[in-house]
C-alpha cells in the first residue's frame, strides 16, 4: 500500500498514528488508547514488496514494557574479547553456539535468565513440525523442512528423546477432505515428504483416537516430538563440552556501533568486545537489533498456554493431532457456493497461518499436552496462566477427544511467541551493521527450525570472520554429548549393577517419576550446572509428575544445598531472587 493511502487507513484507526519511511522500512509512531489498535496498525502496514519490515513504535497509554533483568551486577565479563557473542540462550542461540564451535572460534553465549531455555524454548509443545502450513518462499518453510530432516540425528547425538509418530489433522466434511487433499498435493512442491489423505478406517491404524465426527484426515509422516527444554539444555551442554562459554544471568543492555560495526556490548557484568554478534534474543530480538542499528522488524508478543495431563491420560493420543486449521466464519462463507470444491478452495485461502491444527500431543515422557491458544498481548514477559483460557482450551479439544478431562491436569504453562508483523523469520546477516547476524522473529516452528538456522548463521559468521582472521576447523569437535545414566532406560540387571557401584542411584527421591539421588547429582555435575530446583526438574524430571514436587521438593533442595555447599534456605526455584524458604525459625 502506498504511504499516503496507508496514512489515510491508519488515521481511521487512530488520529495520532503517523507513518513514514525509514531505512527501507515503514515506521509507525503515535500514542493510542489500547494495544489492539497498535497491533492492528502494525498489521495494516505490512507490505513485503515495498518495505523490509514494519517498525511499530506506537505506544499504548498506561503501558510500558518492563524487561525482566537479572539481579546480578558485577564486572566478571569486563573487557572480555571473543570472536562471536551469541545473545540469547534459547534453542536458537544454543544451537548456533554449538554449530559455531565446529570451527576454532571463541564463542560466548549470554542469557539474561538463570538458565538456558528461559524463554519460549521451555514453554512450547515440543512438536517437530513438518511445514505443510507455511507458504512457499518463506523462511519458516525453508528452515522448518531442513530442521525437521536434521532432528533424528541431532537427538541421537545429544541423547535427547525424539519420536517420529507423525501428525494427524482430522477433517469434518467432504470440503475439508478436499482442502487437505490440496495441502497434500502441494506438500511435495514445498519439500515436505510422506503426507497422505486417509479415510477414517485407515487413519485409525495410526491414530486410534479418530473422533466420531471425522470423515478422515491428513497424515504427515515426518512429524515428530521432542523434549524442548532438554534439547536446548543438551545443545548448550554440547557447545560447552566443545569449548563455548555460557554466561547465565547476563543481559545485554546496550551496544556501541562505530563505522557500521558493533564494537562494544554492555551487559550487567561488564563490557564485552566481540568480533561478531548473533542476535537470538527471542521476544526482545528487535530491541537487540535496534541497539545494533540493524532493526528492520518489530516483535509482537503472542501468548499460548499448554495444559499438561497426567501420564494416565497418555492413551488419549498416539501421535500429535487436532482439527484442521480451516475455519470459515459465517461471514467468510457468505457468497461461496455450497459445493465442496468451492468451499475447499476458500478454506485453503483463509486458513490461519498461526495454528497448524495440532492440539493434542503425546509427549516423549508419556503425558498428554493440550493446547496451545494464540492470543496477541502487549507484554513480552507475562507468562501468567488464566483459568478461563485453560477451560477454553479444554472445551475446544474435547471436541477432538471427548475423554479430555480437567481432573487429569497436573500443570499448565504459558509461553510468549516472538513473531514479526510479516509473520516470517528474519534470518540474515546484518543490513546496516556488518558484524551482526539476525536470528529473529523465531516463532513456531522455531523449535523445529533451530538446527537449520544454526547451520546458516554459523556459515555466515565464519565467512565474515574469514576476512579478518584464520578460521580453522575444530578437529576436536565432538557432536556426541556425554550423558549420565538414565535409570528408566536401563534393564533391571543394569540398574542393579549401577546401584551396587554407587548406592546414590538406589535412593529414589521423586516417586512419581522414579528419579534417584544419583541422577540429580549427575545433573548438578553436568557441563552446565545450574543450582536451582527448576534447573534440576528440567534436566532429570524430579517434580514433573502427578504431585508436582509436593513430596520430593525438600529432598531435592537438600541435595542441591549439599552439592553446592550453600545454606538450605539459599536454594532458589529459578532466578536468584526466587527463594523458596525464607529463613530458619
Ligand X SMILES: Cc1cc2nc3c(=O)[nH]c(=O)nc-3n(C[C@H](O)[C@H](O)[C@H](O)COP(=O)(O)OP(=O)(O)OC[C@H]3O[C@@H](n4cnc5c(N)ncnc54)[C@H](O)[C@@H]3O)c2cc1C
Distance set, CA 500 to CA 129, 507, 515, 520 (Å): 42, 12, 17, 18
Chain position carrying cell 514436587: 549
Distance CA 478, CA 495 (A): 28
What string of DSSP letters covers 483-496? ----GGGS-HHHHH
445 binds ligand X (CB under 6 A): yes
In whole angstroms, how close is the CB of 431 to ligand X at the nearest point?
19
Among 236, 252, 255, 560, indicate the residue that binds ligand X (CB under 6 A): 252
Among 125, 419, 451, 543, indicate the residue that binds ligand X (CB under 6 A): 125
Distance CA 239, CA 229 (A): 15
Q: Considering beta carbons, is residue 121 or 324 the nearer one to ligand X?
A: 121
Nearest to 559 by CA among 512, 517, 506, 513: 517
In whole angstroms, how close is the CB of 329 to ligand X at the nearest point?
24
Nearest to 538 by CA among 229, 264, 77, 165: 229
119 binds ligand X (CB under 6 A): yes
In whole angstroms, how close is the CB of 113 to ligand X at the nearest point?
4
Decide: 134 and 190 in contact? Cβ < 8 Å: yes
123 binds ligand X (CB under 6 A): yes
Considering only the stretches 22-30, 31-39, 120-128, 173-181, report the one whose residues sit in contact with ligand X under the rule CB under 6 A: 120-128
Among 372, 542, 543, 545, indicate the residue that binds ligand X (CB under 6 A): 372
Total residues in contact with ligand X, by rule CB under 6 A: 42
Largest CA distance in the chain: 78
Q: Considering beta carbons, is residue 160 or 521 the nearer one to ligand X?
A: 160
Beta bridge partners of residue 59, listed in sequence order? 31
Residue 163's φ and ψ, nearest 5 degrees, are: -130, 145
187 binds ligand X (CB under 6 A): no
Cα–Cα–Cα angle for 225, 227, 232, rounded to 5 degrees: 125
Among 447, 509, 553, 556, indicate the residue that binds ligand X (CB under 6 A): 447
Convert residues 402-431 into a mask of x (bound to ligand X by CB under 6 A) and - (unbound).
-------------xxx--------------
Considering only the stretches 238-246, 322-330, 442-450, 546-554, report the one whose residues sit in contact with ligand X under the rule CB under 6 A: 442-450
Distance set, CA 403 to CA 61, 206, 233, 393 (Å): 44, 19, 34, 14
Subset of 270-289 contacting ligand X (CB under 6 A): 280-284, 288
Count of Cβ atoms closer than 10 Å to residue 287 Cβ: 18
The dihedral over CA atoms of 25, 28, 34, 37, expressed in degrees to the nearest 10, equals -70
Distance CA 483, CA 523 (A): 10
Chain position carrying cell 466464519: 329
Subset of 479-518 contacting ligand X (CB under 6 A): none
The x, y and z cell numbers of residue 135, run together, are 507458504
Convert residues 522-541 into a mask of x (bound to ligand X by CB under 6 A) and - (unbound).
--------------------
441 binds ligand X (CB under 6 A): no
Decide: 110 and 249 in contact? Cβ < 8 Å: no
268 binds ligand X (CB under 6 A): no
In whole angstroms, how close is the CB of 585 to ligand X at the nearest point?
35
Among 103, 112, 300, 481, indicate the residue that binds ligand X (CB under 6 A): 112
In whole angstroms, how close is the CB of 521 to ligand X at the nearest point?
26
Considering only the stretches 118-126, 307-315, 328-336, 404-412, report the one whose residues sit in contact with ligand X under the rule CB under 6 A: 118-126
**Which secondary structure element, helix H or strand E, spans residue 169, and what is its range?**
strand 167-171
Residues 6+ apart with CB under 8 A from 481: 157, 158, 159, 234, 237, 238, 241
The x, y and z cell numbers of residue 188, run together, are 511435495
575 binds ligand X (CB under 6 A): no
Q: Considering beta carbons, is residue 263 or 490 the nearer one to ligand X?
A: 263
Nearest to 459 by CA among 82, 99, 88, 87: 99
Subset of 543-572 contacting ligand X (CB under 6 A): none
Decide: 444 and 355 in contact? Cβ < 8 Å: no
Subset of 305-344 contacting ligand X (CB under 6 A): 306
Among 120, 271, 401, 435, indicate the residue that binds ligand X (CB under 6 A): 120
Q: Considering beta carbons, is residue 93 or 325 the nearer one to ligand X?
A: 93
Among 53, 304, 542, 549, indicate the residue that binds ligand X (CB under 6 A): 304
Considering only the stretches 72-80, 123-131, 323-331, 473-481, report the one whose residues sit in contact with ligand X under the rule CB under 6 A: 123-131
The x, y and z cell numbers of residue 444, run together, are 513456531
Q: Considering beta carbons, is residue 292 or 544 the nearer one to ligand X?
A: 292
444 binds ligand X (CB under 6 A): yes
Classify residue 421 by its DSSP letter.
T
Among 111, 286, 294, 376, indicate the residue that binds ligand X (CB under 6 A): 111
Beta bridge partners of residue 162, listed in sequence order? 226
Nearest to 578 by CA among 539, 537, 547: 537
Considering only the stretches 50-58, 115-123, 158-166, 552-560, report the one whose residues sit in contact with ligand X under the rule CB under 6 A: 115-123
In whole angstroms, how close is the CB of 216 to ligand X at the nearest point?
24
Decide: 466 and 281 in contact? Cβ < 8 Å: no
Considering only the stretches 121-129, 135-143, 173-181, 400-408, report the one whose residues sit in contact with ligand X under the rule CB under 6 A: 121-129
Q: Considering beta carbons, is residue 90 or 542 the nearer one to ligand X?
A: 90
Among 446, 451, 543, 545, indicate the residue that binds ligand X (CB under 6 A): 446
Distance CA 94, CA 216 (A): 39
Convert residues 51-90 into a mask of x (bound to ligand X by CB under 6 A) and - (unbound).
------------------------------------xxxx
Residues 6+ apart with CB under 8 A from 491: none
Residues 6+ apart with CB under 8 A from 34: 60
97 binds ligand X (CB under 6 A): no
Scored b (16 or more CB within 10 A) or e, 512-526 reads bbebbbbbbbbbbeb
Residues in touch with ligand X (CB under 6 A): 87-93, 110-113, 118-121, 123-127, 129, 251-252, 280-284, 288, 304, 306, 372, 415-417, 442-448
Amino acid at each position: 500500500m502506498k504511504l499516503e493511502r496507508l496514512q489515510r487507513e491508519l488515521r481511521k484507526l487512530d488520529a495520532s498514528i503517523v507513518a513514514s519511511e525509514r531505512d527501507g522500512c515503514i515506521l509507525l509512531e503515535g500514542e493510542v488508547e489500547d494495544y489492539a489498535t497498535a497491533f492492528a496498525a502494525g498489521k495494516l502496514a505490512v507490505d513485503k514488496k515495498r518495505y523490509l519490515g514494519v517498525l511499530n513504535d506506537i505506544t499504548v497509554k498506561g503501558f510500558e514494557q518492563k524487561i525482566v533483568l537479572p539481579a546480578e551486577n558485577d564486572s566478571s565479563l569486563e573487557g572480555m574479547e571473543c570472536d562471536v557473542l551469541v545473545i540469547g540462550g534459547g534453542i536458537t542461540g544454543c544451537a548456533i553456539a554449538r554449530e559455531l564451535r565446529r570451527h576454532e572460534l571463541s564463542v560466548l553465549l549470554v542469557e539474561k535468565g538463570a538458565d538456558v531455555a528461559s524463554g519460549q524454548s521451555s514453554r512450547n509443545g515440543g512438536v517437530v513440525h513438518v511445514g505443510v502450513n507455511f507458504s512457499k518462499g518463506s523462511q519458516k518453510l525453508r528452515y522448518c523442512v531442513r530442521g525437521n530432516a536434521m532432528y533424528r540425528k541431532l537427538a541421537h547425538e545429544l541423547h535427547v528423546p525424539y519420536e517420529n509418530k507423525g501428525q494427524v489433522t482430522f477433517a469434518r466434511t467432504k470440503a475439508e477432505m478436499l482442502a487437505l487433499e490440496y495441502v497434500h498435493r502441494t506438500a511435495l512442491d514445498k519439500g515436505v515428504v510422506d503426507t497422505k489423505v486417509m479415510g477414517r478406517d485407515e487413519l485409525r491404524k495410526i491414530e486410534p483416537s479418530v473422533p466420531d465426527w471425522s470423515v478422515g484426515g491428513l497424515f504427515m509422516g515426518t512429524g515428530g516430538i521432542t523434549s524442548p527444554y532438554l534439547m536446548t539444555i543438551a545443545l548448550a551442554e554440547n557447545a560447552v563440552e566443545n569449548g563455548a562459554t555460557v554466561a547465565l544471568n547476563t543481559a545485554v543492555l546496550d551496544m556501541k556501533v562505530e563505522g557500521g560495526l558493533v564494537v562494544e556490548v554492555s551487559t550487567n557484568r561488564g563490557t564485552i568486545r566481540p568480533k561478531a554478534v548473533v542476535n537470538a534474543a527471542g521476544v526482545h530480538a528487535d530491541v537487540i537489533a535496534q541497539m545494533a542499528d540493524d532493526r528492520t522488524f518489530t516483535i509482537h508478543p503472542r501468548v499460548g498456554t499448554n495444559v499438561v495431563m497426567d501420564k494416565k491420560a497418555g492413551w488419549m493420543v498416539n501421535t500429535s493431532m487436532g482439527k484442521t486449521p480451516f475455519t470459515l466464519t459465517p461471514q467468510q462463507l457468505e457468497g461461496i457456493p455450497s459445493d465442496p470444491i468451492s468451499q475447499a478452495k476458500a478454506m485453503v485461502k483463509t486458513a490461519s497461518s498461526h495454528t497448524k491444527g495440532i492440539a493434542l500431543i503425546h509427549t516423549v515422557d508419556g503425558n498428554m499436552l493440550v493446547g496451545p491458544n494464540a492470543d496477541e498481548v502487549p507484554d513480552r514477559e507475562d507468562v501468567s496462566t488464566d483459568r478461563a483460557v485453560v477451560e477454553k482450551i479444554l472445551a475446544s479439544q474435547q471436541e477432538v477427544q471427548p475423554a479430555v478431562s480437567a481432573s487429569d491436569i497436573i500443570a499448565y504453562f504459558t509461553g510468549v511467541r516472538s513473531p514479526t508483523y510479516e509473520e516470517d523469520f528474519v534470518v540474515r546477516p546484518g543490513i546496516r551493521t556488518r558484524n551482526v547476524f539476525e536470528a529473529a522473529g523465531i516463532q513456531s516452528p522455531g523449535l523445529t527450525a533451530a538446527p537449520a538456522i544454526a547451520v546458516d548463521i554459523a556459515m555466515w559468521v565464519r565467512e565474515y570472520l574469514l576476512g579478518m582472521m584464520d578460521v580453522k576447523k575444530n578437529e576436536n569437535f565432538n557432536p556426541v554429548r556425554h550423558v549420565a545414566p538414565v535409570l528408566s532406560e536401563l534393564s533391571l540387571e543394569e540398574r542393579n549393577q549401577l546401584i551396587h557401584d554407587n548406592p546414590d542411584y538406589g535412593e529414589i527421591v521423586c516417586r512419581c517419576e522414579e528419579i534417584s539421588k544419583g541422577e540429580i547429582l549427575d545433573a548438578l555435575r553436568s557441563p552446565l550446572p545450574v543450582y536451582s530446583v527448576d534447573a534440576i526438574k528440567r534436566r532429570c524430571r524430579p517434580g514433573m509428575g502427578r504431585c508436582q514436587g509436593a513430596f520430593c521438593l525438600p529432598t531435592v533442595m537438600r541435595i542441591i544445598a549439599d552439592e553446592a555447599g550453600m545454606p538450605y534456605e539459599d536454594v532458589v526455584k529459578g532466578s536468584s531472587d526466587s527463594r523458596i524458604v525464607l529463613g530458619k525459625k
